[in-house]
A and B are shown apart, each in its own frame.
Chain A
Amino acid sequence: AQTVTQSQPEMSVQEAETVTLSCTYDTSESDYYLFWYKQPPSRQMILVIRQEAYKQQNATENRFSVNFQKAAKSFSLKISDSQLGDAAMYFCAYRSCGNKLVFGAGTILRVKS
């Protein structure tokens, strides 16, 4: 079974600085997708970024980018120029061709002004 591990229960970053959230996963599949979702206090789960495993190029969405290391089964999220609105719980998720999402335990991100 696939598993997703987020080893940082909580992270802090100063406003305007950069922070990296870590995620590792375990799978025997070669074709899959990885996601980062953000869950603010409202608890609405919001898609941040997505990466297809067959693509070598790291995905980027504005201030958000990933470092995808397929051989190491690592998928970290970098947030640049952090803003107060980035404060939330961040979940790393894995999806195989079976389509269900497997989530990590989450990392709470605090942004200091």
Chain B
Amino acid sequence: DAGVTQSPTHLIKTRGQHVTLRCSPISGHKSVSWYQQVLGQGPQFIFQYYEKEERGRGNFPDRFSARQFPNYSSELNVNALLLGDSALYLCASSHNTDTQYFGPGTRLTVL
């Protein structure tokens, strides 16, 4: 079975722009979570979706939003990009509320 997939792999944007990151969960998994990992730190929780509903939100500004589609894939959107948004964005999927399995991440660079 395919693991969690994320696209794109790398992305370069300039300050003020908008970005959309995509995630496809493991087949059969209905929950998707998003994390931000700044270099040298542990991942920080951004959002969790289960069955297309938001189940949790971390301490991130309203510039960050997400949604989950009927096929359980998910998008993370970030508006008005700041230099500090440069990070690795990780998506994780799980069956119900079980163990989370991570994708390879999207590396976002904001110039």
Chain A residues in the interface with B (C-beta under 8 A): 4, 33, 35, 37, 42-47, 50, 91, 93, 95, 97-106
Contacts and interface: CB of A to CB of B under 8 A. Distances in A.
B99 A50 contact: yes
Contacts of A44: 102-105
Given A99-B31, A104-B42, A47 B99 contact: yes
Interface of B: 31, 33, 35, 37, 41-45, 48, 55-56, 58, 88, 90, 92, 94, 97, 99-105, 107
Overall SS of chain B's interface: strand
B99 A103 contact: no
Given A99-B31, A99-B48, A101-B33, A45 B43 contact: yes
29 contacts: A33-B99, A37-B102, A42-B104, A43-B37, A43-B88, A43-B104, A43-B105, A43-B107, A44-B103, A44-B105, A45-B92, A45-B102, A47-B102, A50-B99, A91-B42, A93-B42, A97-B97, A98-B56, A99-B31, A99-B33, A99-B56, A99-B94, A99-B97, A101-B33, A101-B43, A101-B45, A103-B43, A105-B42, A106-B42
Overall SS of chain A's interface: strand
A45 B36 CA distance: 12
A86 B17 CA distance: 39
Contact of A100 (B48, B101, B107): B48
